[in-house]
Amino acid sequence: MQYMEGFNAGDHEKILSCLTDDVYWEMPGQFQLAGKEAFDKEIENDAFEGRPDITIIRLVEESNIVVAEGEVKSRLKGGQAFEAVFCDVFHMQSGKIRQLSTYLMTR
């Protein structure tokens, strides 16, 4: 999935090319943001160092919805390991991500 490849590479343009201009991203209980500019600012979170290692375990597609389950490994500032599992629900429009809901649980 090009979107996840963009995160693994730290490639903002690759990630942003997968989004509609009015994209909406929600991580329940954490944040909600709207638009590519706001999305771009969240791509590299100041709490982390380096690039994440994202692995997709399962992709399920039905109509305009794609669900991705996976795991992410990274390092927090200061070097502490960060490991989590996630479920991303993508609402697609004309081949691009229109809405994203991210559910994340640390290990």
Nearest to residue 84, comparing CAs of 62, 60, 106?
Answer: 106
Q: For the domain bounded by 2-106, which CATH number is listed?
A: 3.10.450.50
Q: Is 10 helix (H, G, I), strand (E, B) or coil?
A: coil
Q: Residue ranges of the domains in the chain?
A: 2-106
pLDDT in tens, the chain (107 residues): 799 999 889 899 999 999 999 999 999 999 999 999 999 988 888 888 988 999 999 999 999 999 999 999 999 999 999 999 999 999 999 999 999 999 999 99
Q: Please, what's the b/e burial string for 25-57 (b: 16 or more CB within 10 A of its CB; e: otherwise)?
A: bbbeeeeebeeeeebeeeeeeeeeeeebebeee
State pTM to two decimals: 0.91
